[in-house]
């Protein structure tokens, strides 16, 4: 079984997610591709403005400062006894897994390289949309990790929208990928309770803590061609785009938080 992972770069949650997965299936992983968090056609300035609008000045400054600290720690990983990795790239290098850095996952040159690795399953946790040619590369399927109880809260920022709508739970779904976003068959899924004290950061952290196990379970189901329940067919399908200024204002007015001081101390 050959597995290939396509992940958006992230210093906070994905390094732990991919390391946990590697520890269980290292010999099966043919490669890891890391893409930028911003969309290929979006400029860096436009991306940063969008993040500033979303988080607000204070939280944006704190997250930017933390990102710089994490990037610095990532560079020092070979010299200091750090308790974790701070980039997906460093995890791939540590475990000697072939690393790819495409700007666009649908780029013909990247797809050519991907086909050479002959993956059975491609696992995505990536902001870019897979086009038909990429979806057809693996022998079995492309699967995606999504932080919601699909078919509810498809699209962007699902945890934000669930919190804004005062949901009592959210979750993680692993689903087959099709040309329509977040609409493929759900293979595995698990729930997470939302408490009044949880920040957006808290919930995303919890989502990634259970994601590795769900991905591994989904891989096992597909690998063994096991039967699995069709999950949540009774749930109403909903889809959300990036929040507008008034959505963010309402989120804060409801007393919801993007992050807390406790979140800042997670790795120190």
**78 alpha-carbon distance from chain centroid:** 26
Q: What is the 3-state secondary structure (H, E, C) of the chain?
A: CCEEEEEECCCCCHHHHHHHHHHHHHHHEEEEEEECCCCCCCCHHHHHHHHHHHHHHHHHHHHHHHHHHHHHHHHCCCCCCCCCCCCHHHHHHHCCCCEECCCCCCCHHHHHHHHHHCCCEEEEECCCCCCHHHHCCCCCEEEEEECCCCCCCEECCHHHHHHHCCCCEEEEEEEECCCCCCCCCEEEEEEEECCCCCCHHHHHHHHHHHHHHHHHHHHHHHHCCCCCCCCCCCCCCCEECCCCHHHHHHHHHCCCCCCCHHHHCCCC
pTM of the model: 0.90
Q: Is the pLDDT of residue 234 over 60?
A: no
pLDDT in tens, 127-143: 899 999 999 999 999 99
**Mean pLDDT of all residues belonging to the chain:** 90
Q: What pLDDT, on a 0 to 100 scale, did the predictor assign at position 59? A: 80
Confidence band, pLDDT 50/70/90 cuts, at residue 93: very high
How many Cα atoms are found within 13 Å in the side-chain-facing hemisphere of 187? Answer: 26
pLDDT in tens, 11-48: 899 999 999 999 999 999 999 999 986 555 666 677 77
Domains by residue range for the chain, with CATH = 1-139 (no CATH), 144-259 (3.40.50.170)
């Amino acid at each position: 079984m050959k597995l290939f992972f396509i992940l958006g770069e992230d210093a906070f949650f994905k390094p732990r997610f991919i390391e946990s997965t590697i520890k269980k299936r290292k010999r099966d992983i043919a490669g890891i591709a890391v893409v930028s968090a911003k969309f290929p056609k979006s400029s860096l300035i436009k991306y940063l403005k969008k993040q500033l609008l979303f988080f607000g000045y204070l939280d944006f400054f704190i997250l930017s400062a933390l990102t710089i600290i994490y990037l610095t720690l990532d560079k020092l990983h070979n010299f200091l006894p750090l308790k974790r990795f701070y980039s997906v790239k460093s995890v791939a290098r540590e475990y000697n897994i072939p690393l790819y850095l495409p700007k666009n996952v649908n780029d013909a040159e990247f797809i050519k390289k991907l086909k050479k690795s002959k993956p059975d399953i491609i696992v995505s946790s990536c902001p870019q949309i897979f086009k038909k040619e990429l979806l057809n590369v693996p022998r079995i399927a492309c699967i995606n990790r999504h932080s919601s109880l699909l078919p509810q809260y498809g699209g962007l920022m699902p945890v934000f929208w669930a919190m804004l709508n005062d949901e009592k739970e959210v979750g993680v779904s692993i689903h087959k990928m099709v040309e329509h976003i977040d609409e493929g068959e759900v293979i595995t899924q698990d729930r997470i309770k939302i408490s009044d004290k949880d920040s957006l950061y808290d919930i995303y952290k919890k989502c990634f803590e259970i994601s590795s196990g769900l991905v591994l379970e989904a891989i096992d189901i597909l690998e063994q061609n096991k039967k699995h329940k069709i999950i949540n067919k009774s749930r109403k399908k909903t889809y959300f785009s990036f929040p507008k200024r008034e959505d963010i204002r309402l989120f804060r007015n409801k007393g919801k938080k993007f992050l807390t001081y406790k979140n800042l101390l997670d790795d120190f």
